[in-house]
Structure 1
Amino acid sequence: MRTITLSNGQTVEVECLSCALTGGLIEPEGGVIVETEYFHAHQDVAYPIKGLVILASKRHFTCLDEMTESERIDYMDILTKIRKAQREALGIDYVYYFYNEDTTHHFHTWMVPRYKWMSEFGRSVESVRPVLLHARNNMNHERNKNEVRSAIKVLAEALRN
């Protein structure tokens, strides 16, 4: 068991945070954006950026080539639907996608929107980490977190339709 401090300050003891999130043992702050048979989408509110989505596998694996055919189809389908909802419901023009295979938990893809305020950090992959840290360190106030929670609800509603 590991003790993990969540973005809201609550601590939990779990074997795997991703299993706890995708299995419904821990409710992500702001709620689940969308869930399929194989994947679970939520926002990591530790980085309070409207429309930032983490799409995580329910099954424990770390590499793209470890997906079953059904998982690959579901992954591309839900990833595409989330992106369409980001564009249509939240007006997000550009998104950076990241996944890494040296994680200690489930396969997951970060969908990080680009906003005009991020330009001061550059327009390349190297700019994403400073953007995330800026959001965590400077945008973690109630007004912005409420906007992020509202965006989560908007995305969830758009994906239900």
Structure 2
Amino acid sequence: MVRNITLSNGKEVEVECLSCALTSGLIEPDGGVVFESEYFHAHQDVAYPIKGLIIIASKRHVTCLDELTDDEKIDYIKIMSKIRQAQREVLGIEYVYYFYNEDTTHHFHTWMVPRYEWMYEFGRSVESVRPVLLHARNNMNNIENIQYVMEAINSITKKLNE
């Protein structure tokens, strides 16, 4: 099933699977690939312009954690830990919310959503994340914020690939 996806830069793309399009290079996420391993692809979220909002997506088209091989599971934890450390060291991100859902049309992927002070006006629980994301998409898609996000992508990518 082909879906229309609106990217954070406002472009609309038609894809059957966004993760397939991203991990294969058909769609280039803003700032490019943040980190890549044999099994996973990490990039700035393509829909929400929030500094340090990283997606870790499996390269294989699976949807559930228990479908990962043992090698993929080990790689996943190592990559997530490495990215989290870089978020803290390079971007000063103190807290992160992690999400993955199995009823998606994309591959297995995890959202690493940083928490910034401005986000607390939407609440302090997991329920605040959706309003935060929508606020970012609708109100932070400006040149100044996109530049801020791109600088963060470059900084975190540099750290992760040292």
Q: TM-score, normalised by structure 2?
A: 0.94
Note the C-alpha offset of 1:10.
3.5
- Give the fraction of aligned pairs with identical amino acids, expressed as a percent: 72
Distance 2:137 2:91 in 1: 21
Distance 1:2 1:109 in 2: 22
Distance 2:15 2:121 in 1: 38
C-alpha deviations, 1:33-88, integer Å up to 9, x for none?
00110000111242111000010000011111111000000000000000000000
Taking the TM superposition and a 5 Å limit, the aligned residue runs for 1:62-77 are 62-77=63-78
Report the more deviating stretch, 125-134 or 22-31. Answer: 22-31
Count of residues in correspondence between the two structures: 161
Distance 2:86 2:51 in 1: 13
Distance 2:134 2:11 in 1: 20
2:53 corresponds to 1:47: no
Coordinate RMSD, CA, aligned: 1.4
C-alpha deviations, 1:85-138, integer Å up to 9, x for none?
000010000000000000012000000000011111111000100111111111
- Specify the code of the residue in structure 2 equivalent to 1:136: R
- Specify the code of the residue in structure 2 equivalent to 1:4: N
Report the more deviating stretch, 7-16 or 30-39. Answer: 7-16
- Specify the code of the residue in structure 1 equivalent to 2:161: R
Q: Which residue of 1 aligns with 2:28?
A: 27
Note the C-alpha offset of 1:6.
4.1
What is the SS of the residue equivalent to 2:112? Answer: strand
Contact 2:53 2:112 in 1 (8 A): yes
The 3 A distance-change label for structure 1 pair 13 and 116 is closer
Q: Which residue of 2 aligns with 1:80?
A: 81
Contact 2:5 2:15 in 1 (8 A): no
Distance 2:58 2:4 in 1: 20
Q: Which residue of 1 aligns with 2:152?
A: 151
Note the C-alpha offset of 1:14.
3.4
